[in-house]
Chain A
Amino acid sequence: DTAVSQTPKYLVTQMGNDKSIKCEQNLGHDTMYWYKQDSKKFLKIMFSYNNKELIINETVPNRFSPKSPDKAHLNLHINSLELGDSAVYFCASSQVPYAEAFFGQGTRLTVV
């Protein structure tokens, strides 16, 4: 049983397209996150949800819109994709907002 699973694992798309990444956790955690890992492998928070409520929204372009339909799911929708959006996006979850987080396997997004 995968604790935090995200789909797809790879996503190749053209500039200007809209795409979504889905994430599900079966750990019963209250908090979920989206992180972006750039080419230098630096992990940076994008969004954080606690009990379906947005609690962290870092300086991310408003083309990125998270949605949490329930505590077990946090999806990321990206509009009008740009070349600079190419990165690996990780979903994660934790029991509470300050506890250790458990990560999915990542989605490698390539915009061409």
Chain B
Amino acid sequence: EDQVTQSPEALRLQEGESSSLNCSYTVSGLRGLFWYRQDPGKGPEFLFTLYSAGEEKEKERLKATLTKKESFLHITAPKPEDSATYLCAFSNAGGTSYGKLTFGQGTILTVHP
């Protein structure tokens, strides 16, 4: 069965303390792996799409990487404004997962000044 699991559930960092969030997935025929950021009371905000193992994408302090079983969201020298819930999702070009994004449960990131 296609599924995605994120870890840790919650992560507390000091400002400037780099770390990584993990997204483990099992899917037949991965079409895309997505990272989103969600702030309280808001809708998920799209960050990155990764299509194949070995691919990397960067945006400011965030870098997303993809292997055949996992994706990582690396946060370098985080700031308090990076505090949010980070969601991972995948899409499948065929089968029962076609036409939707399947989300993980998210990692709640808190960055203290």
Q: Is B43 in contact with A105, judged by CB distance below 8 angstroms?
A: yes
Q: Contacts A98-B91, A103-B44; is A42 near B99 (CB within 8 Å)?
A: no
Interface secondary structure of B, over-half rule: strand
Residue positions of B touching A, CB distance < 8 A: 31-32, 34, 36, 38, 41-46, 49, 85, 87, 89, 91-93, 98-103, 105-106
User: Count the A residues whose beta carbon is within 8 Å of the partner chain — how many?
Assistant: 26
The contact sample of 12 A-B pairs, CB cut-off 8 A, is A33-B101, A40-B105, A42-B103, A43-B103, A45-B101, A48-B99, A56-B99, A56-B100, A97-B98, A98-B98, A101-B34, A106-B43
Q: Is A90 in contact with B98, judged by CB distance below 8 angstroms?
A: no
Contacts of A56 in B (CB 8 A): 98-100
Interface secondary structure of A, over-half rule: strand
Q: Is B100 in contact with A33, judged by CB distance below 8 angstroms?
A: yes
Assess whether A50 is interfacial by the CB under 8 Å rule: yes
Chain A 25-66, CB-CB to B under 8 Å as 1, else 0, gives 000000101000000111111001010000110100000000
